[in-house]
Amino acid sequence: MTTTRPANPPAVPAPPFRLPDIPERHPDDMTSVDNLHQYGAIANVIQYLGNPDTTIVSAEHYIVPGPAYVAGESRYPDLLVAFDADPGAYKARNGYVVSEQGKPPDFVLEVASRRTASDDLEGKKDYYERLGVGEYWLFDSEGEFYRFTLRGYRLEGGRYEPILVDEISPGVFQGYSVALNLNLRAADAYLGWHDPHTEEHIPTLTTETARAESAEARAESAEARAESAETQVKELEAEIRRLRAGG
């Protein structure tokens, strides 16, 4: 008598890996919230760069070289920009996996805080350089923790080289990001994003609202002028009819 061996149960696919959330922010680290989120800087950059299907503009998620997450070594920036990337994979993995995206991010930015400043200047800089991140920028609204206000590095030959940052007027510092084709300008404790051709700040909710209100006001003024002209024409026609009737 032969015994039929039971078929092997179908293998259950392993769930796709997902990077952990970043640690809860310490109050001393909330400067990035003040400088990037409160003033809508990230939203402004997202709107300006466009192409949401292939462009990632995000913040505070890990960047790792591959699926393996190494606690204590992996870093997360205050702002990340990656072109020709897969936002869906970024969302699914809860972070940026270089091997999956096929390229490192093009731009990262760190905002100074008391607890992270030393790591921003050394550990994170070395980490992003090893990953091949195209540009690394640091911003300190008061120059208190970095001992400077704005600094940038561009990857050249596998090494970070300083980006020229000029003091374009007293207390106003500016450097050009090739990755974003924007000038980063630090002034009055605020980091601004300026078009290098027009020198104007990229559109923001405030400026777009003001522009819309101005356009609406101009339209209303033009409509009022048209109505006034129409009234004058009618009055003139009535006067002509009166004169003809009297003649």
Q: Which of 9-13, 46-50, 199-203, 214-218 is predicted with the least confidence, judged by mean pLDDT?
A: 214-218
Percent of the chain with pLDDT over 70: 77
As a whole number, mean pLDDT of residues 86-102 equals 97
d(CA 150, CA 140): 6
pLDDT band at 53 (very low <50, low <70, confident <90, very high): very high
Q: Name every residue whose Cβ is closer than 8 Å to that of residue 78 and which is 6 or more positions away in sequence.
A: 32, 36, 59, 60, 109, 110, 111
pLDDT in tens, 101-140: 999 999 999 999 998 999 999 999 999 999 999 999 999 9
d(CA 119, CA 242): 88
Percent of the chain with pLDDT over 90: 59
pLDDT band at 69 (very low <50, low <70, confident <90, very high): confident
pLDDT at residue 213 greater than cutoff 50 = no
DSSP labels for the chain?
A: ---PPPPPPPPPPPPPP-PPPPPPPPGGGTHHIIIIITTTHHHHHHHHH--TTT-EEE-S-EEESSS---TTT-B--SEEEESS--HHHHHHHTEEEHHHHTS--SEEEEE--TTTHHHHHTHHHHHHHHHT-SEEEEE-TTSSSSSSSEEEEEEETTEEEEEPEEEEETTEEEEEETTTTEEEEEETTEEEEE-TTT-PBPP-HHHHHHHHHHHHHHHHHHHHHHHHHHHHHHHHHHHHHHHHHH-
Q: Work out the number of other CB atoms within 10 angstroms of the CB of residue 171.
A: 12
pLDDT of residue 34: 65
d(CA 71, CA 209): 44
Closest CA to 42 of 237, 207, 215, 202: 202
